[in-house]
Structure 1
Amino acid sequence: MQFATGPDPTDLLTLPWSTPLAEWPREKLVSLPRGISRHVVRFVRISGIVYAIKEIDPVLADREYALLRDLARLSLPVVQAIGVVGNRTTVDGDRLDSALVTKHLRFSLPYRALFSRRMDGDLEPKLLDALAELLVRLHLAGFAWKDCSLSNTLFRRDAGALAAYLVDAETGELRSSLSEGQRRNDLDIAETNLAGELLDLQMSGLLPESVDPIDTATSVLRRYDRLWAELTAPQTIGAGEWWRIDQRLRRLNDLGYDVAQITVNEQQGEPQMLVQTQVVEAGHHRRRLYDLTGLQVQENQARRILNDLDTYRSQAVLPETDVEEETVARHWLSDCFEPTIEQIPPALVAKLEPAEVFHEVLEHRWFLSEAAGREVSLAEAATSYMQNVLRHRPDEKAFLEPSLMGLGGEVNGEGGADDADRSWGGTDPTP
């Protein structure tokens, strides 16, 4: 067996690797939603950590393991690859496929779970925006997915939006860059897969009547094209318009992207410049927040928290006082963030991840202040939120409806959640 990261391998050695995955005993498994998959997949919990195990051809298992590791090193949102169990045989000596082990993504939900609970009135655009952005990020890194679908994606809440994570990289290919044809082929595959999945939701009664599956699938391509153009399109400027470069960079940063290089060329001797931005990595706000506070959160959550940190600075520090940003951030952690999170009752910790709770408390505070006609304190807003809002939220750390639970048959390559009465552990798969 080969394990590259994660817990002590002896924890995983206790699993019945000499038994075909489809025949593993129920007491070893965790119930997660069914989905469409080419392979048998099972979910297990060991030492409080949930793993997804996929039975797959040895060559494909090693290839997908390496791809997931490479994508993680590029800071792309993917599930964490733990290892490959190879050279498996039954007790009678019959050959078994390899087993690819990944760590389940905490607080994540598959698309069917999101639609089944109707947690958000604006679910469709948020979900499609997240998928389009994931595709853009993969393509910028030179990764052709070749099997983009909702089934191969997990979603986490991100300050009211959704963040998408790649689950299945089996068919993918990582290059230094992608040609226009390779990108368009990936988008064609995505459109076909999405239309089929949305039609399936419609037949299951989970898709609102106002949503057309074909038009919705096509809209992902439009969202993708708009974002791709914003990130990569050349920009011609006059000699005295350098401010437009700064404007473009600020706009890219607001979208959560950093710029690694700017190429400037004169056009036919005229005093004009062609500015080609090379966008290589997303996460501007989350990296800044991590540097200041050590908090690892989603991009939109980081943007929202940084706004609150800036407000705290303006209120707590005199304008003429020169105080380092890191010092203010430490005070903000101890005065604002940590006390708010500590107010979460133990029985409600599975509802949302801490950063999302803090974001919602800030939103709740704004509404309370509007209604009261005065500034409501953060502590007061947190108390009200815990009692009146969070208590009624469905668990996103531990989920699902009985109609979506299942142990037998093929299960989607990754799942969404776990039984509500069991504890969780693990770490985020992204740096």
Structure 2
Amino acid sequence: MAGSLSITSATVDSALLDLPWDLPLDLWPDDVIAALPKGISRHLVRFAHLSGYVIAIKETSEEFAKGEYDMLRTLQRLDIPCVEPVAVITNRTDAEGEPLDAALVTRHLKFSLPYRALYSQTLRPETATRLVDALAVLLVRLHIIGFFWGDVSLSNTLFRRDAGSFAAYLVDAETGKLYGSLSNGQREHDLEIARVNIAGELLDLAAGNRLDENLDPVEVSNGIVAAYRSLWTELTGAESFEASERWRITERVDRLNELGFDIEELAIKTDESGTKVRIQPKVVDAGHHQRRLLRLTGLDAGENQARRLLNDLDSYTATYNKQDLDEEMVAHEWLAQVFEPIVRAIPRDLKGKLEPAEVFHQLLDHRWFMSQQEARDVPLAEAVTSYVDTILRHRRDEATVIDPVTGTITVPIAVIRDDDDEVDWRTLV
């Protein structure tokens, strides 16, 4: 390796030295590269194998690489969903001593996909809406901590399945800046960037015949504005009511918890007459159900997945009349007798298909579907066998997805139901 290579990393991995940093990224050999789907980027991005996991490498300027590395580390400390920064590589030179661009190295987020790879043929309206809703939640979380993104888009986001919905993770923080707080103008500017970028990305899919004909790109992109404003108002808006309606304080907290947010501080004020009360959340933090599940079971899941697992835990508690027992003891019992046996029942060659929590969520819905169809309470073991054979085997791996497949298979699943609890038939790819 020519030159005096410089590696800045919070955690030392000597295997970084074995990668061909003296070659431009587009010339790296195939035995190093991991063939994963990636989104659109203004810089060259490629995936590579490193010490048993996969990393993403982006060639950029030294200034941008160091700035984005520091920003991603800061966002991680603030518990924002984003990719994990691994290292910054500078002072790269080729065999002739000519300088090469610096590189930012991040860890590939397992079970995540760029929006273009979620479906290999067409992006359906309901899927596009869920992606936009997930991005709206991420944008709200970023704005709450004072982060101005500056380049909000589906392309700069990774998505993981989260109990029938999606969770969004920030990928590209190159244009981001962190302030003490954001003005309304800054928030609206980010929101307008998101609206325009999303419309352009969906129109691009439409041009390639990868968008459902019933989907209106402009309407979907406008959806992020509505979703964002609704959530922002719920999380930060003040509320006034009569002093006799103090129950509305608990109602507000419960509503925020249901959305997946915790309140660290709640400002409560009364007027001079004492007849009216005004409340406003001061500090709002996401992950209410995640933290409860982690505390009770040690399982680290997405917010919607955690809510679903906790619902099953509550159902287990009620079914076996364990309401009077210690909550943590019952949770340990549920983990050992319900969750872990299901995870162990998944064949080894299928474990890369989905995260265990997502498998559990889909299995519960599949069991419900079977019970409805057969008008009987289907045993869990029978449901597991059916789910593995009819659904899970036909999914592509999402732990490390190689080139998107082109074939489709239509199978009945119960991961999505309408308001009347009617099963929707979907095409899995």
Structure 2 counterpart of 1:325, from 324, 327, 330 = 327
Partner residue of 1:389? 391
Q: CA deviation at 1:268?
A: 5.8
Structure 2 counterpart of 1:99, from 90, 98, 103 = 103
Query: Are 1:343 and 2:345 matched, yes or no?
Result: yes
Within a 5 Å distance, the mapping from 1:239-388 to structure 2 comes to 239-267=243-271, 269=273, 271-318=275-322, 322-388=324-390
Partner residue of 2:139? 135
SS in 1 for 2:31: helix
Q: CA deviation at 1:37?
A: 1.8
Q: CA deviation at 1:114?
A: 1.5
User: TM-score w.r.t. structure 1 length?
Assistant: 0.89
Q: After TM superposition, what 4+ stretches of structure 1 lie above 6 angstroms from structure 2? A: none
User: TM-score w.r.t. structure 2 length?
Assistant: 0.89
Partner residue of 1:75? 79
Structure 2 counterpart of 1:150, from 145, 150, 154 = 154
How far does the alpha carbon of each residue in 1:43-62 deviate from its partner, in whole angstroms, 9 at most, with x for none? 10123200001111111111
CA distance in 2, matches of 1:198, 1:318: 50
Query: Are 1:234 and 2:241 matched, yes or no?
Result: no
1:283 partner letter: G
After TM superposition, the structure 1 stretch with the greater mean CA deviation from structure 2, 106-115 or 251-260, is 106-115
**Which sections of structure 2, spanning at least 5 residues, go unmatched?**
1-5, 407-429
Contact 1:231 1:279 in 2 (8 A): no
Partner residue of 1:179? 183
- More relative contact order, 1 or 2 (CA 8 Å, 6+ apart): 1
How far does the alpha carbon of each residue in 1:215-271 deviate from its partner, in whole angstroms, 9 at most, with x for none? 211111111111111111110011111100100100000000011211123346462
CA distance in 2, matches of 1:44, 1:350: 18
2:364 partner letter: L
SS in 1 for 2:244: coil
Distance 1:276-1:9 versus aligned 2 partners, 3 A rule: same
Contact 1:3 1:9 in 2 (8 A): no
CA RMSD of aligned residues (A): 1.9
After TM superposition, the structure 1 stretch with the greater mean CA deviation from structure 2, 66-75 or 276-285, is 276-285
Partner residue of 2:90? 86
SS in 1 for 2:96: coil
Partner residue of 2:36? 32
**Which sections of structure 1, spanning at least 5 residues, go unmatched?**
405-431
Q: CA deviation at 1:402?
A: 5.8
Contact 2:117 2:404 in 1 (8 A): no
Q: CA deviation at 1:371?
A: 2.7
Structure 2 counterpart of 1:21, from 18, 25, 39 = 25
After TM superposition, the structure 1 stretch with the greater mean CA deviation from structure 2, 117-126 or 366-375, is 117-126
SS in 1 for 2:160: strand
Partner residue of 1:215? 219
Percent identity over paired residues: 51
Partner residue of 1:4? 9
Q: CA deviation at 1:66?
A: 0.8
CA distance in 2, matches of 1:92, 1:340: 57
1:397 partner letter: A
SS in 2 for 1:341: helix
